[in-house]
Amino acid sequence: SHQETEARAADSGANASARFRERMAAQSAGGVVDTERVNHLASRAVKALNDIVLEEQVSYEEYNAFKAWLIRVGEDGEWPLFLDVWLEHSVEEVANADREGNKGTIEGPYYLEGSPEVPWNGTIPMREDEPGTPFVFSGQVRAVDGSPLPGAKLELWHADDLGFYSQFAPGLPEWNLRGTWTANEDGNFEIHTVRPAPYQIPTDGACGQLIEAAGWHAWRPAHLHFKVHAPGHHKLTAQLYFPGDEHLEDDIASAVKPELMLDPQPNPNGEGEVTQYDFVLDPE
């Protein structure tokens, strides 16, 4: 039996919050505060909320329910989840509007730096009995001018066949389904893994409570997360998706783009599937 089915929102939330705090601390301690910019953005955010209260005639009952819910988001450690699901897609849109190469999409709350190195055609760290369809993913990393980028790094992380991420759900080995490939002298890579399952955000935490109360659904389509980087090029953060998935049109995180679709085919060797996808990086 796989213990990850006992995953609790408060545990994965606490892990996501702690990992984010560590990453922020590791970055050279923040720049100078731009008071004018903070004033501008914070004033707009406060005004947007006040406008909603006035326009929608929000009651004390609703205000207190909102207050209780916000407190719970913090208690459950779900600020990373809430922000990455409902806001990051717009930040990504702004950040990458000028890219000529690959479309990117959001990073989400479950990236970890420093995953194990794998040869250019190697297998992702996984359990001996890792459930799921074997999946071979190959392609090339290129610059926008078409030249291959040998030595490019590809970081891949994804959920397992039950939709859980290692280091965030319990019962999974460290670095399970997380690895870093180095493209070969032709810029090519060949990744051996298993297909991830669709991902349901935790239903027992604050975000789940909101979804339930609003009559929404909690699903993201199955996806592979990538970071692709090469010297002199902008790092690409992307996700790739599978045709036919039930939630491509209504991803709760609004992170699906037509340019990010895979086209898996049966593996001629009879075991699982193969697919091909090339990454194109913008110059810095």
Residues binding ligand MBD (CB under 6 A): 81, 84-85, 106, 108-110, 199, 201, 220, 253, 255
Block residue for tokens 């720049």? 31
Three-state secondary structure call for residue 261: strand
Which does residue 101 touch among Fe ion, ligand MBD, none (CB within 5 to 8 A, set by kind)?
none
Per CB under 5 A, 196 contacts Fe ion:
no
156 vs 253, which CB is nearer to ligand MBD?
A: 253
Q: Does 109 bind Fe ion (CB under 5 A)?
A: no
Residue of closest CB approach to ligand MBD: 108
Q: Which is nearer to Fe ion, 148 or 202 (CB)?
A: 202
Smallest gap from residue 135 Cβ to ligand MBD (A): 17
C-alpha 32 chain-centroid distance = 29
109 vs 125 by CB, closer to Fe ion: 109
Q: Which residues contact 236 (CB under 8 A, 6 or more apart)?
A: 101, 102, 104, 226, 227, 228, 229, 279, 281, 282
Burial (CB count within 10 angstroms: exposed 0-12, middle 13-18, buried 19+), residue 156: buried
> Kind of pairing, strands 279-281 and 134-143?
parallel
Minimum Å gap between C-beta 197 and ligand MBD is 11
Q: What's the min distance (Å) between Cβ of 90 and Fe ion? A: 18
Select the binding partner of residue 196 from Fe ion, ligand MBD, none (C-beta < 5 to 8 A, by kind). none
Whole-number Cα distances in Å, 274 to 139, 254, 277:
11, 26, 10
Which range touches Fe ion (CB under 5 A), out of 38-46, 63-71, 101-109, 263-271? 101-109
Cα 127-12-10 angle, rounded to 5 deg? 140
Contact residues: Fe ion, CB under 5 A: 108
